[in-house]
Amino acid sequence: MKKFTNACVNFMQKFLPDAFIFAVILTIVVFIFAMPAAGATPIALINAWGGGVWNLLAFSMQMALVVVTGTAFATAPPIKKALEAIAKLAKTPVQGVVLVVVVGSIASFINWGFGLVVGALLGRAVARQLKNVDYRMLIAAGYSGFAIWHAGISGSIPLNINTPGQIGAYTTRDFSLIETLQNYFGKAVEYTEATVELADGGSAVEYTFDAVASTGGAVTELIPTTATIFAPWNLLMIAACIILTALIFGASHPKEEDTFVVDPKLLEDVEREYPKAETPAQKIENSPILSWIIVVGGLIYLVMYFAKAGINGLNLNIVNFIFLILGMLCHGTPIRYVHAMEDAAKGAAGVILQFPFYAGIQALMVFAGGSTGTSLAAVISNFFVSISNHMTFPLWTFLAAGIVNFFVPSGGGQWTVQGPIMMPAGLRLNVHPAVTGMAIAWGDQWTNMVQPFWALPALGAAGLGAKDIMGYCVLTLLVMAVVAIVGFLIVGAMTM
């Protein structure tokens, strides 16, 4: 196992380029294959690519804030002490990587944004405690927890098919949403317009469309999470992934002479000195009163929000809001929090640079405006549908989603691309929509292990590059492949 792991690590170190170069190469590859698949001219695809570069702009900001607010929160004295306390549970390097896998997985099951940050920061804490542990493996172990996020309680697909408004009529005032749907599904997405009066005396135009289109008409009523996230077969597969990944990481920790020991300076947090406040401005900056006003208001909002939305309301915006409020609380004074955010912002550079390129790649994957009337993503999905039967359909859906995920790494984007194709195909083969939806979700999370896109927040918090951890993540990829292939074949057989 150690030899195989070392081979994977050496291969990735030699051949995996910087994450940004990887995104550029993917752009070129998708551009080339999208031309024959969509029957599009280069000019048409360049236009689609350029128009799509900023489609993930809001999401890019969210992910940058995951890095910044999460890191700033974790560097607060109380949180550092808590992480150090957890890290002390590990007495050996093997125990260290196992601990990080398990804790990172649990955090990602609860919420993917939370898990991304917790795994990396706990890895740093363990590296501070154990001087002979492989730092690259620790961060890879933390990121490996992310491998089960889409099967967890923040998964886009299981929440989508259980959310009122996503099934049935959906009303919006944003016409660009209609245009996006028509670009994905063709002009068949019909909508109605209505002018409504606003409370301030003005008016607005509302657009209503049939949200069942996102499943190709296969889902006409809400599917509860007891049939998806909390289905016994899904929980068993998750448990198998966590246990096997922890065991394999533990067995693969390199020998002492091969261990990558991090430079202690990388693990040091900047300790600023704060002289006694003398001027009125300095007294305001160092007074906890302003922080407490915001913290109290934020906590009141969170209590009201979760009382209404429940745990399913734990989305990326709320995670960032929690980190923001708790970060202010734990740093004590406004100026200390300002400096913590400034230090943390350095880790967000990869997100800011690369996410626009992945938005462009996604636009190329879903472009269907050529002579064939289809997209590259649809060609891939339809191929796997064509070779499926009732028993194998969940497996092939998982594999198709894994391939598409390389190029459309957004969970919501993956659902938009594959839902209208795989869901009705599963219905025709008598496969329950819950199984089809979760097969897409598992494929979406699977190849994240060798896709640097989602590793960027963790890498930013850890101070490493993609090639430093991807060799170890191949272990998680293989574990998930075995668990998912066996699991979905059994699920397919049981539902015959």
Q: What is the pLDDT of residues 277-313, one digit of tens each?
A: 778 888 888 889 999 999 999 999 999 988 887 765 6
* 229 and 141 part of one domain: yes
Res 268: pLDDT? 66
Q: Is the residue at 395 inside a domain? A: yes
Q: Which structure tokens are listed for 419?
A: 């839902």
* 37 and 66 part of one domain: yes
Number of domains in the chain: 2
Mean pLDDT, the chain, whole residue set: 83
Res 54: pLDDT? 86
CB 104 within 8 A of CB 146: yes
* 139 and 193 part of one domain: no
* 344 and 477 part of one domain: yes
* 208 and 340 part of one domain: no
51: Cβ contacts below 8 Å, ≥ 6 apart: 363
422: Cβ contacts below 8 Å, ≥ 6 apart: 381, 385, 397, 400, 401, 436, 439, 440
Which residue type occupies 352? I
Indicate the pLDDT class of residue 207, thresholds 50, 70 and 90. confident
pLDDT digits (tens, 9 = 90+) for 418-458: 887 888 888 888 888 899 999 999 999 999 898 877 787 77
* 137 and 176 part of one domain: no
Q: Is the residue at 405 inside a domain? A: yes
Three-state DSSP state, 349: helix
Res 319: pLDDT? 75
Q: Is the residue at 291 inside a domain? A: no
Q: How many CA atoms lie within 13 A of 81 on its CB side?
A: 5
Q: Which residues sit opposite 203 in a β-bridge? A: 197
Residue percentage of the chain with pLDDT more than 90: 31
What distances in angstroms separate CA 73 from CA 140, 301, 306, one per listed residue?
Answer: 21, 19, 21
Q: Which residues sit opposite 171 in a β-bridge? A: 208
* 179 and 36 part of one domain: no
Res 132: pLDDT? 87
Q: Is the residue at 330 inside a domain? A: no
Among the candidates 180, 197, 215, a domain finishes at: 215
Three-state DSSP state, 230: coil
Among the candidates 215, 234, 249, a domain finishes at: 215
* 140 and 83 part of one domain: yes
pLDDT digits (tens, 9 = 90+) for 14-50: 888 877 888 899 899 999 999 999 999 999 999 999 9
* 205 and 122 part of one domain: no
CB 446 within 8 A of CB 409: no
Q: How many CA atoms lie within 13 A of 445 on its CB side?
A: 30
* 463 and 371 part of one domain: yes
Res 184: pLDDT? 46
For tokens 């493996």, the residue is 137
Q: Is the residue at 318 inside a domain? A: no
* 176 and 127 part of one domain: no
d(CA 442, CA 484): 8
CB 407 within 8 A of CB 452: no
Q: Is the residue at 394 inside a domain? A: yes
d(CA 458, CA 479): 21
* 64 and 175 part of one domain: no
The pTM score is 0.78
> 350-377: b or e for each residue (b if 16 or more CB lie within 10 Å)?
bbeebbbbbbbbbbbbbbbbbeeebbbb
Res 467: pLDDT? 85
Other Cβ atoms less than 10 A from the Cβ of 437: the count is: 30
Minimal CA–CA distance to 101: which of 131, 67, 137? 137
pLDDT digits (tens, 9 = 90+) for 148-175: 999 998 787 887 777 665 555 556 666 6
pLDDT digits (tens, 9 = 90+) for 354-405: 888 888 988 898 888 888 888 888 888 889 889 999 899 999 999 999 998 8
CB 411 within 8 A of CB 427: no
Q: Is the residue at 299 inside a domain? A: no
Q: Which domain holds residue 211?
A: 169-215
Angle at Cα 473 formed by Cα 13 and Cα 110, nearest 5°?
Answer: 145
3: Cβ contacts below 8 Å, ≥ 6 apart: none
Sort residue 43 into left (φ over 0), alpha (ψ -120 to 50) or beta.
alpha
Q: Is the residue at 32 inside a domain? A: yes
